[in-house]
């Protein structure tokens, strides 16, 4: 099974983040523009947390707050579960399934290096299974 580093190599995306002082509205606009469901939160050069669609739904909308006035620092998830580049895809799937989370920050040597989503993990697993099935079909039929 692959590792997180394999997903990050294929993503070809910059890490998108906001500061804790960003308004929730500004963060939502950025998420819409980039078509993503979570933003990493960086305070200077330090990873501070994560802001997700779920945070917005549960901590802003359901509490009747205004996204134009609330700052990310007020509702972000601080110290979220994270993984590193050597974490296996199986471990990511287990964490996401059992902890009911959709995004895992990737931290290597104390430095934020990326983020993997449940979609990234599922896509990787599907591609890996297609590859294995193709190899088995070639083996069974004796074709090269």
Please state the domain extents for the chain. 4-141
Dihedral of CA atoms 64, 70, 75, 78 in degrees, nearest 10, equals 180
Q: Tell me what pLDDT residue 82 has.
A: 96
Residue 64 has a CB neighbour count (10 Å cut-off) of 6
Residue 55 has a CB neighbour count (10 Å cut-off) of 19
- Per-residue pLDDT, averaged over 25-41, amounts to 95
Per CATH, the number for 4-141 is 3.10.580.10
Per-residue confidence at 10, pLDDT binned at 50, 70, 90?
confident
Q: Tell me what pLDDT residue 12 has.
A: 66
Quote the pTM value. Answer: 0.85
Per-residue pLDDT for 63 more than 90? no
Say if residues 50 and 17 touch (Cβ distance below 8 Å).
Answer: no
Q: Tell me what pLDDT residue 24 has.
A: 96
**Residue spans of beta strands (DSSP E) within the chain:** 17-18, 38-43, 46-52, 77-78, 103-108, 111-117
């Amino acid at each position: 099974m692959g590792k997180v580093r394999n997903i990050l190599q294929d993503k070809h995306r910059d890490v998108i983040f906001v500061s804790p002082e960003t308004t929730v509205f500004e963060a939502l606009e950025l998420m819409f523009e980039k078509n993503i469901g979570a933003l990493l939160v960086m305070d200077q050069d330090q990873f501070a947390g994560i802001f997700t669609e779920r945070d917005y739904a549960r901590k802003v909308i359901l509490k009747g707050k205004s996204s134009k006035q609330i700052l990310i620092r007020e509702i972000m998830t601080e110290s979220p579960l994270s993984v590193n580049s050597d974490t296996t895809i199986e471990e990511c799937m287990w964490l996401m399934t059992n902890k009911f989370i959709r995004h895992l920050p990737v931290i290597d040597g104390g430095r934020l290096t990326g983020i993997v989503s449940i979609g990234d993990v599922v896509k990787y697993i599907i591609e890996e299974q297609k590859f294995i099935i193709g190899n088995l079909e070639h083996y069974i039929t004796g074709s090269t």
